[in-house]
Structure 1
Amino acid sequence: MATIKDVAKRAGVSPSTASRAMHDSPLISEETKDKVRQAMRELDYSPNFAAQNLANQTSNTIGVILPAREEAVGDNPFFIQIIQGLASICNAHDQLVSVASGQTTEELIKNIETMIKRGNITRFVFVYSQANDPVLECIKQHSKIHYVVIGSPYTDKETTCYVDNDNFKAGYDATKFLLDKGIAQVVYAHTNLAEKVQNARYKGYLAALAEVGLAESPLCLSTVPAAEMQNAQAFSKIMAKSSGKVGVVACDDILALEIQHLCDICEVERSELALLGFNNSLLAKTARPALTSVEIFPRFLGSEAAALAISTKENDNLKLETDHVVVPHKIVERASTKI
């Protein structure tokens, strides 16, 4: 692998001059810069980004902030797809991606502070939106830090760069999809209605029920992580009150799979449900029966967030033409909702 000394030797300059030329120093002539750039191309030289950051007090790295819930991230392919989308745009713009994670909020904040102070990272993308988020409040304390949120911001929505789906419309469309099949009993299954995405989809669910006069009697299945028997009892109560085919709008594909498992525990035939999830993950495609799911294009969410982060970096003192992007969704039908 070529080093800066190799580049300097090829260009006929000292290593310090080569370094200054790479940093586009005004002390170096354009002729010398051209020689150094030519040597870099010939040697296929990749700069040491960490060293550049120290020299320039800037960074060509975008920090990606994951929620401080390791199990939620590790078990959910949604976050991996977002990062893949982020990386694709960053690679195209010669930007690196550095991921900030932590098992606790305190650990996550500590890691982010290290990225800012030692890595000179000034651009971050939150892959989640959370009310009263101490991590976001930490970022806001740094005046020179720019950030983009994936999801609808809880505060400062008019001034925050963000990328999101229309989750109200997605919840409405998913519920109407089942109602249009003649299913009169539609359940909304969730894990936490305090989370903005789940709540927005719930409100869309209610709006679809209202159109057919069912908004006064919504059916909700509130599940608790790692509480299998408690969830099974709640599921059994809903099924005992129902007659005929039951539609279920689950807040994501992972919960939809758990509901399929609850069918087995409660001795309910999976064919008695018309089950639908969100994210259109690999889990949905490999489930039995395969899950109908709402595709929300997580890679696109990631790539659009990266584009906004890079745009703010290139236009520090300018108002962007677009500081938020709404990514569309579509329903992908599979066997779980075939009547």
Structure 2
Amino acid sequence: MTNSKNIESASITSGIADLAKKIAGRTATVGVIGMGYVGVPTMMAVAEAGFHVMGIDTSLDRVQSINAGLSYIEDVKNPSLEPLVSQGLISASTDYALVRGLDVILVCVPTPITKFKEPDLGPMQVAVSGLAKNLGDQQLIVFQSTTFPGSTEEFVLPQLEALGNKAGRDFYLAFALERIDPGNQQYLVRDLPKVVGGITPACTEIASAFFSSFVDSVIPVSSPKVAEMTKLLENTFRSVNIALVNELSVLCRRMNIDIWEVVDAASTKPFGFMPFYPGPGVGGHCIPVDPFYLSWKAKEYDFYVNFIQLAAETNDNMPYYTLSRIGAILNDHGLPLKGTKILVLGITFKANVNDTRN
């Protein structure tokens, strides 16, 4: 008599082997949900590796732009995008039903915060709902959106398994953090080590195999939580150190010390120091947002990350401090703040980007 568990095991082995073969042969079809500053460069990197890529987004304008070979992402130039569209390697749609025919799905939707500094999982919920309704067999699903530790296992997994599908058997689920740095032409998608944590060892293995096809270095970790926490550690590290130098800049102002000269001098130390520079606050998609995902989740464990919260408060106060300094400087010149025309050179969160959000 044939053992049903053996049949099931053989079926799983066969399913993941077929998927691995498709990935190795570049015949796997890849979907990218969310065509923003992470999704579009990811589509480019995957297509340049030889895969056919379908972008899925709720914005019809974005879809039409990509299908016309026109990039709205500064780091992706039209001369690079257009040939891939013409060759049929990149296309886009608003139809989540197309997910059924894909082999690999990468989720790159935004994960913002509310005005109360709490996670806004709306975009992620739309993506998960669309996946759950259109889940195919033996698909690899990888979330790349930065979020709190436990999101993949506690928020995503239950919804994908709600209709009886099982991760590691019917589909493969993992989290792989993104490290795209807008405006940075030195480190592109291929150059950024990819940390991958799957729900099961098989999930980690097949996700690592996929990313290895277009990323130079892949680092498997023991779970999605580890990968999720890794991204939050990276960005919280920056937030805390930016807050430190922002606070010191205020102190140095009172002490009549040039903080820029101090940082430059400290940077001559060949070990144990990394320079951070003061500014009117923090901006971008990550630093003003990600630490709040961690502090929110920490409360579930009756843990209050006071250090992180203090850094956020310091950085959030810098725009007000900057305004007070402008007022003081104008006053020194006998000018009122109201009615005075002020020229601002550079309004994005850093140089060489055109995104004015955050």
Q: As a proportion of its length, which structure holds more strand?
A: 1
TM-score (norm 2): 0.29
TM-score (norm 1): 0.30
RCO (CA 8 Å, sep 6+): is it higher in 1 or 2?
A: 1
